Amino acid sequence: MPSIKNINDFKKAKNEKKTISVITCYDYAFARIIEGTETDVILVGDSVGMVFAGYSSTLPVTVDQMIYHSEIVRRGAPSKFIIADLPFMSYQVSVEEALTNSGRIMKESGANSVKLEGGREFRGVVEALVRASIPVCGHLGLTPQSIHKIGGYSVQGRDGDQRKKIFEDAKILEEAGVFALVLEMVPEQLACEISGALSIPTIGIGAGRYCDGQVLVINDMLGMNEEFNPKFLKKYASLHDAVKNAISEYDREVKDGRFPGENNVFK
Ligand code: KIV
């Protein structure tokens, strides 16, 4: 049985030391497959911009695209708790815009919650969303929407000042009301300390073994991109090769007249 059915189950899972499994997914076909598994939560991430749409960063992703993908995932996975990302510039300008955009995502997609990147600078936004009954998941460490400020997709929190800031931001986000916190690409020891200091669960990606949950992007964990091999990733399948081989075989069979065969024709 998945341990997350509603918002209250996040703290419950943490208290009962049940590790939370999260998968980022963007489409109906994969959502349907996830629906049939024990996976606890689906994140419709703005990584859709890079993984699905081929942009070089997550910055171009729009609120309408997040609604489109989240709604599709909801149709494929009606029973799962869904977190939908707030895309770049949908919550940074003002509390009002954050409320309007989050409200649209919740109303139009059927997601259960939203996620935003950043710490103390978004305290007021998190508080306003939570006040408006919109559950918020935090995201610290490597925050891809800040790629031009950070300068690269690298481990965050290795030096003392950064480490202190991430730790403090985690506490501030918890106080502001987030129900869970994604920690992306931070040293294992820092993630462990943050997880120990918070009453809400941490969900790690490249954050080591001691987070309260883990998240991977479905395309990555299924090995769909043979060029994407970060240290934190484990590939549970080699779909790139399997799909490429299948397509090549189809191509050969069409061209040499073996497809369609006797079994594929109507009489
Ligand atoms: O967009 C995303 O998929 C994410 C995860 C990698 C945490 O934010």
The mean pLDDT of 236-240, rounded to a whole number, is 98
DSSP string, 203-222: EEESS-S-SSEEEEEHHHHT
Is it true that the peptide bond before 60 is cis, omega within 30 degrees of 0? no
Model pLDDT for residues 205-231, shown as the tens digit of each residue: 999 999 999 999 999 999 999 999 999
**What is the mean predicted confidence (pLDDT) over 76-102?**
98
What domains can you pick out in the chain, each with its CATH number?
Answer: 8-236 (3.20.20.60), 239-267 (no CATH)
Pocket of ligand 1 (CB under 6 A): 24, 43, 45-47, 85, 182, 184, 205, 215, 217
Does 71 have pLDDT greater than 90? yes
Q: Indicate the top mutation candidate among 69, 115, 205 to test ligand 1's pocket, ranked by most ligand atoms within 8 A of CB.
A: 205
Q: How far is the CA of 256 from the centre of ligand 1 (A)?
A: 43
d(CA 17, CA 41): 16
pLDDT, tens digit, for every residue of 158-191? Answer: 999 999 999 999 999 999 999 999 999 999 999 9
State the number of CA atoms in the 13 A half-sphere of 234 facing the CB: 6
- Report pLDDT for 3: 83
What pLDDT does residue 1 have?
Answer: 79
- Nearest ligand 1 atom to alpha carbon 43: 3
| pLDDT (tens digit per residue) in 95-148 | 999 999 999 999 999 999 999 999 999 999 999 999 999 999 999 999 999 999
| Mean pLDDT of the residues in the chain | 98
Q: Are strands 20-24 and 113-115 parallel, antiparallel or unpaired?
A: unpaired
Residue 149 φ then ψ, to 5°: -85, -40
Neighbours of 163 (CB within 10 A): 18
> What are the tens digits of pLDDT across the range 29-60?
999 999 999 999 999 999 999 999 999 999 99
